[in-house]
């Protein structure tokens, strides 16, 4: 027992200072994409050809990157000989509207808090039921790690609960397979109103790499009203935490 106590004292304080202090992301981290149109050869389509999910399209000669479909594989960066595409270290990716994930320039509208009435309800205590609707466990893993002492999700009044009847909303991962569709809808119905819906990861937002597959529903967009979209494949834990805190008004 004394050895355990000694080891714990030596470990010191491990909880992150986020959001008071921005996190230092790993060098290889790929965050918010940056499009430099002045460098782009608009007659070239190399980035479009290599994108595995069709996240990049050209409209009127201008590129648009759909962060809801993007799996952050960096294939477009490697294919672009003009260095017009890059991924920044900005972990802040959450938005309130699906259309805000369409990146056609370097302006990006981050998520805003729910209205004042909802903030009074959820701002100090937010209980979420996590539903893995056919996910690969990557988004689920980066969500679960928020409960560790580094992130300490509970200090913000946010907790995951076992029953949807005890929840204020759903946090959904996965492309919503046909086998999970009914279970997801029943879980949503079991959550008392008012309730929130959070889509985490490319699969939940758009179907991701499974987009268009007959056994998936291309995410939850056409099934449930979504209050927060958190893109990524998977999103970094700080990206998820940042989005949750923005939704309840703890980050402006």
More reliable by pLDDT, 99 or 43: 99
The tokens for 125 are 């205590």
* Residue the block writes with tokens 């056609």: 104
For the stretch 176-199, pLDDT in tens is 999 999 999 999 999 999 999 999
Helix (H, G, I), strand (E, B) or coil at 10: helix
CA-CA-CA-CA torsion sign (36, 39, 43, 45): negative
Look at residue 23 and tell me whether its pLDDT is greater than 80: yes
Note the pLDDT of residue 86: 94
Q: CA-CA distance, 32 to 204, in Å (whole number)?
A: 18
> Which CATH number is 33-103 given?
3.30.70.3270
Look at residue 4 and tell me whether its pLDDT is greater than 90: no
Contact 246, 111 (CB under 8 A): yes
Look at residue 12 and tell me whether its pLDDT is greater than 80: no
Look at residue 11 and tell me whether its pLDDT is greater than 90: no
Sorting pLDDT into bands at 50, 70 and 90, what band is 40? confident
DSSP calls for 161-203 = -S-GGG-SEEEEES--BHHHHHHHHHHHHHSPSS-EEEEESHH
Note the pLDDT of residue 233: 97
Look at residue 211 and tell me whether its pLDDT is greater than 80: yes
Sequence-distant (6+) residues with CB within 8 A of 228 are: 94, 95, 96, 111, 196, 197, 198, 199, 243, 244, 246, 247
Residue whose C-alpha is closest to residue 99's, from 210, 231, 211: 231
Sorting pLDDT into bands at 50, 70 and 90, what band is 38? confident
* Residue the block writes with tokens 């996910």: 135
Residue whose C-alpha is closest to residue 134's, from 93, 183, 170: 183
Look at residue 170 and tell me whether its pLDDT is greater than 80: yes
For the stretch 218-232, pLDDT in tens is 999 889 999 999 999
The whole-chain average pLDDT of the chain stands at 93
Running DSSP on this structure, what letter comes out for residue 15?
A: S
Note the pLDDT of residue 104: 86
Give me the percent of the chain exceeding a pLDDT of 70.
100
Q: CA-CA distance, 133 to 148, in Å (whole number)?
A: 23
Look at residue 118 and tell me whether its pLDDT is greater than 90: no
Q: Which pairing describes strands 62-66 and 56-59: parallel, antiparallel, or unpaired?
A: antiparallel
Query: Would you list the domain boundaries of the chain?
Result: 33-103, 116-247
Q: What are phi and psi of 198, to 5 degrees?
A: -125, 125
Note the pLDDT of residue 58: 87
> What CATH class does 116-247 carry?
alpha beta
Give me the percent of the chain exceeding a pLDDT of 90.
81
Note the pLDDT of residue 141: 97
Look at residue 241 and tell me whether its pLDDT is greater than 80: yes
Helix (H, G, I), strand (E, B) or coil at 116: helix
List the single range of 1-10, 50-59, 216-225 with lowest mean pLDDT: 1-10
Sorting pLDDT into bands at 50, 70 and 90, what band is 37? confident
């Amino acid at each position: 027992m004394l050895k355990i106590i000694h080891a714990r004292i030596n470990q010191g304080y491990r909880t992150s200072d986020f959001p008071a202090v921005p996190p230092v992301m790993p060098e290889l981290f790929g965050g918010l994409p940056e499009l430099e149109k002045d460098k782009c050869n608009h007659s070239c389509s190399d980035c479009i050809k290599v994108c595995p999910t069709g996240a990049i399209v050209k409209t009127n000669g201008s590129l648009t990157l759909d962060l809801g479909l993007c799996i952050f594989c960096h294939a477009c960066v490697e294919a672009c000989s003009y260095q017009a595409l890059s991924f920044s270290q900005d972990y802040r990716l959450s938005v309130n509207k699906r259309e805000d994930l369409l990146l056609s320039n370097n302006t990006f509208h981050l998520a805003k808090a729910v209205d004042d009435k909802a903030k009074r309800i959820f701002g100090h205590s937010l209980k979420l039921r996590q539903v893995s609707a056919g996910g690969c466990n990557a988004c689920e893993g980066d969500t679960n790690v928020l409960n560790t002492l580094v992130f300490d999700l509970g200090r913000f009044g946010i907790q995951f609960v076992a029953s949807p009847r005890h929840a204020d909303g759903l946090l959904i991962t996965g492309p919503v397979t046909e086998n999970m569709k009914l279970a997801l809808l029943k879980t949503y119905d079991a959550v008392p109103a008012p309730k929130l819906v959070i889509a985490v990861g490319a699969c939940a937002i758009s179907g991701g790499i499974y987009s268009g597959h007959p056994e998936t529903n291309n995410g939850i967009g056409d099934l449930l009203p979504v209050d927060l979209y958190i893109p990524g494949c998977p999103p970094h834990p700080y990206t998820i935490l940042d989005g949750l805190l923005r939704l309840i008004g703890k980050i402006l």
